[in-house]
Amino acid sequence: MTKNKYFDFVFLSSEEYKKLVDKFGEKDTNEKMENLNNYIGARGFQKKYKSHYHVILTWQNKTEKDRQKKEFISNLPQEKPVQPREKKVDSPEITAIKNEYFAESQRINTGKLWKNPEERAKLKKISIKLNQAINDARPVMATISTNVSCQMKLGI
């Protein structure tokens, strides 16, 4: 079977060319041959492919499979976006203690007083006060938590 030269690096028999034109039309066939020609020219694979006809068919199959895969994925149901939780607003008391803690931390950091145990003790007291205020703001949860742990210990 005699191969005809198309472009610089593409070789097809007259039969193969006719089959491609019948399958894809002349415009698409020439476009596919040009893509193959550019690929071979850029990479120097003139002798790698035994059949340029089959390379074009393989590339078309891969393109079609990729298109179907993208179409399938785009038709999948989309997950609902996760709704952000409502931000809990601190009570004025908790906000005041947080501000006190922040101010004290800043003072200690700026003055480089971390080595002073009395300064750290002040910060620790504010931290304990803050944790107590947060726990007091959630009495129901604390009660439930205590009841559950008591029931677990008792085996109820």
pLDDT in tens, 20-57: 999 999 999 999 999 999 998 888 765 678 899 999 99
Query: Is 60:32 a contact under the CB 8 Å cutoff?
Result: yes
By the 10 Å C-beta count (0-12 exposed, 13-18 middle, 19+ buried), 29 is classed as buried
Query: Is 32:59 a contact under the CB 8 Å cutoff?
Result: yes
Write down the pLDDT at residue 142: 46
Dihedrals phi, psi of 22, to nearest 5 degrees: -65, -35
pTM: 0.48
Task: State what percent of residues in the chain have pLDDT above 90.
Answer: 36
Low-confidence stretches of the chain (pLDDT beneath 70): 45-47, 139-156
